[in-house]
C-alpha cells in the first residue's frame, strides 16, 4: 500500500530539485548566453533558465526541516538579482516554518498542480501497442528531432519561442534523462523523457504531434517508460497534472493516485520609485 506521507513527499520533491538543477546545468553548458543557474537552498533548489521564463521556480524547499529567514532571503536575492519574480512550488508537507514565512512576506497563490504516484512492479507489464505504434530510445544525434516534437506538441506551434526551445534541447542532454520516441509506422510522431532519482521515475515531457493524437502513441510511451524504469530499479513513478484534467484522469486509469497538491506561491517585485 502506498502511503502519502512525508517520506514519500521528500523522495519526490528531492527528485524535482535534482532534475531542475541538472536542467539548469545542461542549459548553461549548451547555451551560456541564457544565464541559466541553479541555487541549492533550504533543502531544495532554485532554478533560473532565462528572463521571464515560466520555468523559473524553486522546488523541494522546506522538505528537510526548518526554513530560516536567511535562507528565504538568499532564495529571493537569487531571483531578484536576475530581474525575476520568485515562484516557489510549495509541497503541503513542507515544514510549517516555510508557510509562515511566505505569508509574512506577501506571497500569493497563482496555480495548483497535482502530484500522482504509483508503485512500479519489478516485471512491469507492457501491453501490446496499437497497430502501427512502436517506441524506441532516442539516439544521441537525434536531439533536434526529439526537441522539435516536444516543442510542437506542447506549445502548439512548429516554431516555439527560441528561449523555450533552448530549454527543451538542453533537456535532451540533462544528466539521468532517458529520451524516447513514439513512432507510427516507423515515423517519430511523439516524444517523452523519464528521469530517475532515488528509486523514483519522474515521467516528464510526453507529447504527441496534433495530427497523430488518439492513436495510442502516448499510451505506448507511458508503458515503455514504466518498463524502462522498472528495469533501472525504480520502485515508484510520478506524474504531475493540472487538477481535474484529462491528463489526471488518464494517469488514474493507469494506476496513479494523487498524493498531494503543490501550490505555486509567487512574490513579485515592485518597480523602484522614481525620485
DSSP SS3 for 127: coil
pLDDT tens for residues 99-120?
Answer: 999 999 999 999 999 999 999 9
Residue 163 pLDDT > 70, yes or no?
yes
pLDDT band at 122 (very low <50, low <70, confident <90, very high): confident
Q: Where are the domains of the chain?
A: 6-113+261-267, 133-234
pLDDT band at 158 (very low <50, low <70, confident <90, very high): confident
pLDDT tens for residues 187-202?
Answer: 999 999 999 999 999 9
How buried is 187 (Cβ within 10 angstroms: 0-12 exposed, 13-18 middle, 19+ buried)? exposed
- What CA–CA distance (Å, rounded) separates 254 from 43? 31
133-234, what's its fold? Aminopeptidase (3.40.630)
Q: Which pLDDT belongs to residue 271?
A: 66
Q: pTM of this prediction? A: 0.93
Q: Which pLDDT belongs to residue 260?
A: 98
Q: Which pLDDT belongs to residue 126?
A: 86
* Mean pLDDT score of the chain: 95
Average pLDDT, integer, range 154-167: 86
Amino acid at each position: 500500500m502506498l502511503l502519502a506521507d512525508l517520506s514519500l513527499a521528500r523522495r519526490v520533491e528531492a527528485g524535482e530539485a535534482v532534475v531542475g538543477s541538472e536542467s539548469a546545468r545542461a542549459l548553461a553548458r549548451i547555451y551560456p548566453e541564457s544565464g541559466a543557474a541553479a541555487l541549492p537552498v533550504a533543502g531544495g533548489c532554485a532554478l533560473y533558465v532565462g528572463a521571464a521564463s515560466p520555468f523559473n521556480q524553486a522546488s523541494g524547499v522546506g522538505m528537510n526541516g526548518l526554513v530560516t529567514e536567511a535562507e528565504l532571503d538568499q532564495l529571493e536575492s537569487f531571483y531578484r538579482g536576475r530581474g525575476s519574480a520568485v515562484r516557489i512550488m510549495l509541497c503541503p508537507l513542507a515544514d510549517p516554518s516555510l508557510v509562515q514565512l511566505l505569508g509574512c512576506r506577501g506571497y500569493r497563490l497563482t496555480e495548483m498542480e497535482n502530484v500522482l504516484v504509483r508503485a512500479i512492479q519489478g516485471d512491469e507489464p507492457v501491453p501490446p501497442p496499437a497497430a502501427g505504434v512502436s517506441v524506441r530510445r532516442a539516439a544521441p544525434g537525434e536531439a533536434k528531432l526529439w526537441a522539435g516534437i516536444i516543442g510542437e506538441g506542447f506549445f502548439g506551434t512548429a516554431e516555439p519561442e527560441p528561449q523555450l526551445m533552448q530549454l527543451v534541447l538542453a533537456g535532451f542532454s540533462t544528466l539521468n534523462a532517458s529520451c524516447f520516441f513514439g513512432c507510427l509506422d516507423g515515423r517519430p510522431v511523439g516524444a517523452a523523457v523519464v528521469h530517475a532519482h532515488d528509486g523514483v521515475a519522474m515521467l516528464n515531457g510526453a507529447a504527441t504531434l496534433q495530427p497523430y493524437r488518439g492513436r495510442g502513441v502516448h499510451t505506448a510511451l507511458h508503458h515503455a517508460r514504466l518498463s524502462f524504469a522498472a528495469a533501472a530499479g525504480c520502485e515508484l513513478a510520478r506524474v504531475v497534472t493540472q487538477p481535474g484534467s484529462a491528463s489526471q484522469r488518464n494517469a488514474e486509469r493507469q494506476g496513479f493516485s494523487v498524493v498531494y497538491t503543490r501550490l505555486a506561491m509567487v512574490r513579485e517585485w515592485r518597480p523602484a520609485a522614481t525620485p
